[in-house]
Amino acid sequence: MLRIENLSAFYGEAQVLRDVSLQVSAGEVVTLVGRNGAGKSTLLRCVMGLHAGQRGTVELDGRDITRLPAHRRARLGLGWVPDDRGSYATLTVTENLTLPPTVGPDPWSLERVYEAFPALYTRRDSAATMLSGGEQQMLALARVLRMGARLLLCDEPTEGLSPLLVQQVGDLLREAKRHGVTVLLVEQNLHFATGVADRHYLLAEGRVAEAMDNSEVRSRERELLAYLGI
């Protein structure tokens, strides 16, 4: 579904990604792990079309989208879950959810979102930035599910969440996967990653250092944790 070929990315003079190539098949959940500064977030931004300085190719369903602006990519079914949760202070919770157009074949209705997230329903007319961090993370995920996005790009959705909320994020991603949604996930929490994902890419200094499956990550968990510095 998603194919990245020889992707390099720059911030001014500094090169953050070096010839990264990877693939995500339809219905797969794939994580990007790596130290801070390894280029994980930049890679997601490149896929979304939010990073200006880049070289290489990004393909979606065999179509080259490298030169497509971000809003056209979203309309092809990309769902963006930014690392800062992307809550709008000037929009209510309901407006945050309904801002993006529906783009996929199977969008959640607003009723379904509110049934799944009662906390969002009770705060539906508040400014989204008045929600707690966990609620804002749920809002960010609910938003792309309501879009009906086919490929979710999630940047550390469990960061700073309580164990209970981490589990809820996991349940959501597994349910999305059951409905055929594909996920590319930046994640530092290896335990969480092996619980939801099929495969993993380890990024180091802007390159794909290793591709691993779940059993490999589990058997090398200590070594990886030490490497990641967690």
Give the residues lining the site for another protein (CB under 8 A). Answer: 48-50, 69-71, 74-75, 78, 80, 82, 84, 86, 88-91, 95, 98-101, 103, 143, 147
Shortest spacing between CB 11 and another protein, in angstroms: 14
Compute and round to an integer the Cα radius of gyration of the chain. Answer: 17
Shortest spacing between CB 100 and another protein, in angstroms: 4
Shortest spacing between CB 184 and another protein, in angstroms: 14
The strand pairing partners of 79, in sequence order, are: 152
* Residue closer to another protein (CB basis): 1 or 68: 68
* Residue closer to another protein (CB basis): 95 or 198: 95
* Residue closer to another protein (CB basis): 17 or 140: 140
How many other CB atoms are there within 10 angstroms of residue 125's CB atom? Answer: 9
Shortest spacing between CB 88 and another protein, in angstroms: 5
The answer to whether 145 and 176 have CB atoms below 8 angstroms apart is yes
* Residue closer to another protein (CB basis): 20 or 103: 103
* Residue closer to another protein (CB basis): 103 or 203: 103
Instruction: Compute the distance between CA of residue 70 and CA of residue 189 in angstroms, rounded to an integer.
Output: 28
Strand, helix or coil for residue 153: strand
Instruction: Compute the distance between CA of residue 210 and CA of residue 203 in angstroms, rounded to an integer.
Output: 7
Shortest spacing between CB 60 and another protein, in angstroms: 14
182 vs 26, 35, 93, 112, CA distance in Å? 6, 24, 25, 20
Shortest spacing between CB 216 and another protein, in angstroms: 33
Name the token pair of 42. 């930049």
Instruction: Compute the distance between CA of residue 118 and CA of residue 217 in angstroms, rounded to an integer.
Output: 35
The strand pairing partners of 64, in sequence order, are: 59
139 vs 1, 33, 95, CA distance in Å? 26, 24, 11
* Residue closer to another protein (CB basis): 96 or 188: 96
